[in-house]
Structure 1
Amino acid sequence: MPSLRDGWNLATRTARLMVGVPDYDAYVAHQAAHHPEAPLMDLATFHRNRVDRRYGGGPDRVPRCC
């Protein structure tokens, strides 16, 4: 049976994803489970990558607001 802490952690993660805050810990766990040979991005690189993917950053992409 899930604990209150588990429920809180799930609610926190969901709220962060809803407002666009990426989950680095989930990324690290996914990479370890599914792509162990691939290099991990550090936290700053991961955040920049998520922002660029969300808002269209980069020299070859048209920026957008959402």
Structure 2
Amino acid sequence: MQRSPNLMERWKTLSKCVCDGAKLMVGQGDYAAYAEHVRRTHPDRQPMSELEFFRNRENARFGVGNTSGFRCC
């Protein structure tokens, strides 16, 4: 029989979901999930560093390098 998670485990899970959701709303993905995805599905590729990942997501959000003319400011 599986026991139900205690209150602290449930709180940690909820907190992670809220933080992950907030990061996604401002354009910052989950680096750990990205790195695991690359290792699992692209074993021949090296994942970006955490700083490279942050910059990549930031550039994508603000249209850096985008030739369609989008700019936030």
Q: Shorter chain as normaliser: what TM range?
A: 0.7 to 0.9
Equivalent position to 1:38, from 45, 49, 60: 45
The count of residues paired between Structure 1 and Structure 2 equals 65
Higher relative contact order (CA 8 A, sep 6+): 2
The match for 1:47 among 45, 54, 59 is 54
TM-score, normalised to structure 2's length?
0.68
- Give me the whole-angstrom Cα distance separating, in 2, the residues matched to 1:36 and 1:6: 29
The unaligned stretches of length 5 or more in structure 1 are: none
Larger radius of gyration: 2
Q: Secondary structure at the match of 1:8?
A: helix
TM-score (norm 1): 0.73
**Displacement over 3 Å in runs of 4+:** none
Matches within 5 A, 1:53-64: 53-58=60-65, 61=67, 62-64=69-71
Identical aligned residues as a percent: 37
What SS does the corresponding residue of 1:16 show, helix, strand or coil? helix
Measured on the aligned residues, the alpha-carbon RMSD in Å equals 2.2
Structure 2: runs of 5 or more not aligned = none
